Amino acid sequence: MNQRSSVAELVASLKAELNRYPIGGKLPSSRAMVETHRVSPVTVSRALAQLAAEGLVVTRPGAGVFRAQPRNDTQAPGDTSWQEVALSADGATDAAPRAVDASGVLVTLAAPPSGVIEFNSGYLHSSLRPERAMAAALARAGRRPGAWGRPPVDGIPELREWFARGIGGPVTEAEVLVTAGGQSALTTALRALAPPGAPVLVESPTYPGMLAIARAAGLRPVPVPVDPDGVRPELLAAAFRATGARVFVCQPLFQNPTGAVLSAERRPEVLRIAREAGAFVVEDDFVRRLVHEDAGPLPKPLATDDQDGVVVHVCSLTKATSPSLRVGALAARGPVLERLRSIQIVESFFVPRPLQEATVELVGSPAWNRHLRSVAMELRDRRDTLTAALRGSLPELELPHVPTGGYHLWLRLPDRSDEGAVVSAALRAGVAVAPGRPYFPAEPPAPHLRLSFAGVASRGEITEGVRRLRTACDEAFG
């Protein structure tokens, strides 16, 4: 049984037993609960924390856990219908709607029910994370002089220097801002570069989280199709001419969701087209550290070929470590850097210093490179396992490209098939998959699925997940 279901079951048991104790009555000790319910001390601790958060118990250090005074929930709910008018009134004159749709992001963030295989995860499974190394780094960081003080608003110098070296080329520490992960960096970049109502060119298909950011800022995402060699330059140039856009957002390396890598021939073309349009290129370099073991030499970031400040570079450590290590970077040159800095300061002040110090400890330790090598091997093996299973059991699902980096495969369903029906049938069969529709800023050309091989527990679970997906497709295709 996994930890999540164990905690839920213990919470349910303790809730059922609460009425046995008077208000203020003391519950059994944690040790007694461990023995009675046959669970770990960690499970007991988490269950009690959940009950305390719900106001059902009160914990008193050194004394124990006590039943809390019930809250008065008899008050009638208020009338919030006025908010519909308030939230829509300002939008009446907006050039683009600012309604926020987080459904495409929640697909990869929401934990599926117990027993469901996660082919929809956007992060490494806990068995692939460097959890021991992160815990040790956090412990060392907490003892650093000044670790709990206020950091420089741009980020601590050691971390900015490390990011600058990783980006390479002409990028210096002075041109790097430390951010609270890649999503925060993209939000800052789009707010800095385009006013509400402006068009922003995006790859199609592309990362739903970026589309949500753009729409929440009142921007109008305009799709530019990609193929196995990345964005198509002739269509990019045409889109700039047609829209007058001043921003293009792209993922040149292992693009999400297609896995495409921008070809060497197209790289200078993209920069030239943007420069001639007087536009910025936001380079989302989100999985450079999740390269597979059999990959050849990686192309350098676009930022290394940029002398004129065209590229605003975004990168993050989250994908290669843990969903909770939300540390990333923005790199830019010229006046735009000051605007990026100002927006970040206003929105979040700075990334907490203990987290920055822990990141420096982590990436400076021998465990860091060992972790990257281990993940590179495991992702290659998982990718090959998933690819072989799909080709053997689901040949009707088209797999146009097998990437050598990243953590997912992009599949095209048969024409005129019902993507939503496949996703629903898959969940009933015990496997969660990501639908393709949220990845398209406009009408999709065909139904798709995205399958992640990083969030599952093992290669055996991948094989079982494909078996379940076969059952779902049989149901959906009739």
First-last CA distance in the chain: 34
Is residue 115 in some structural domain? yes
pLDDT value for 362: 95
pLDDT value for 440: 94
Please say if the pLDDT value at position 336 is more than 70. yes
> Same domain for 291 and 382?
no
Is 287 buried (19+), middle (13-18) or exposed (0-12) by CB count in 10 A? buried
> Same domain for 335 and 255?
yes
pLDDT value for 1: 44
> Same domain for 224 and 157?
yes
Is residue 72 in some structural domain? no
Tell me the two tokens of residue 209: 């989280």
* Calpha distance 465→478 (Å, rounded): 20
Please say if the pLDDT value at position 269 is more than 80. yes
Residue 114: how many other CB atoms lie within 10 Å: 12
CATH number at residue 387: 3.90.1150.10
Inter-axis angle of helices 366-393 and 353-363, nearest 10: 80
pLDDT value for 95: 61
What would the pLDDT profile of 19-77 be if each residue is shown by its tens digit? 888 998 998 998 889 998 888 888 998 999 889 888 898 988 888 899 988 876 566 66
Is residue 13 in some structural domain? yes
Inter-axis angle of helices 3-17 and 30-37, nearest 10: 110
> Same domain for 182 and 295?
yes
pLDDT value for 114: 81
* Calpha distance 279→198 (Å, rounded): 12
CATH number at residue 261: 3.40.640.10
Distances (CA, A) of 424 to 83, 365, 418, 474: 33, 44, 10, 13
Kind and range of the H or E run holding 464: helix 459-477
> Same domain for 257 and 275?
yes
Is 231 buried (19+), middle (13-18) or exposed (0-12) by CB count in 10 A? buried
> Same domain for 323 and 421?
no
Q: Is the pLDDT higher at 413 or at 81?
A: 413
CATH number at residue 63: 1.10.10.10
User: Does pTM surpass 0.85?
Assistant: no
> Same domain for 329 and 241?
yes
Is residue 136 in some structural domain? no
Show the domain range for 44.
3-67
Angle formed at CA 324 by CA 131 and CA 39, multiple of 5 degrees: 60
Final residue of a domain: which of 338, 364, 390? 364
pLDDT value for 253: 97
pLDDT value for 339: 92
Is residue 109 in some structural domain? yes
Q: Are 212 and 262 in contact (CB under 8 A)?
A: no
Distances (CA, A) of 285 to 39, 107, 261: 42, 21, 11
Final residue of a domain: which of 364, 392, 409? 364
> Same domain for 223 and 286?
yes
Please say if the pLDDT value at position 275 is more than 50. yes
Please say if the pLDDT value at position 356 is more than 50. yes
Mean pLDDT of 431-458: 93
> Same domain for 471 and 382?
yes
Kind and range of the H or E run holding 133: helix 131-142
Mean pLDDT of 280-292: 95
Tell me the two tokens of residue 93: 């004159």
Q: Provide, rounded to the nearest whole percent, the portion of the chain with pLDDT above 90.
A: 68
Side chain identity, residue 205 = P
Q: Provide, rounded to the nearest whole percent, the portion of the chain with pLDDT above 70.
A: 92
What would the pLDDT profile of 8-34 be if each residue is shown by its tens digit? 889 989 988 888 889 989 989 988 899
> Same domain for 284 and 358?
yes
Is residue 94 in some structural domain? no
Rounded to an integer, what is the distance from CA 229 to the centroid of its chain? 24
Name the domain count of the chain: 3
> Same domain for 208 and 263?
yes
Rounded to an integer, what is the distance from CA 386 to the centroid of its chain? 21
Rg for the chain (alpha carbons), in Å? 25
What would the pLDDT profile of 90-131 be if each residue is shown by its tens digit? 555 566 666 667 776 776 677 777 889 999 998 999 999 999
Is residue 427 in some structural domain? yes
Position 404 confidence tier, pLDDT thresholds 50, 70, 90: very high
> Same domain for 281 and 382?
no
Rounded to an integer, what is the distance from CA 95 to the centroid of its chain? 29
Mean pLDDT of 179-193: 93
pLDDT value for 74: 60
Q: Are 403 and 430 in contact (CB under 8 A)?
A: no
- Closest-CA residue to 206 (of 231, 188, 189): 231
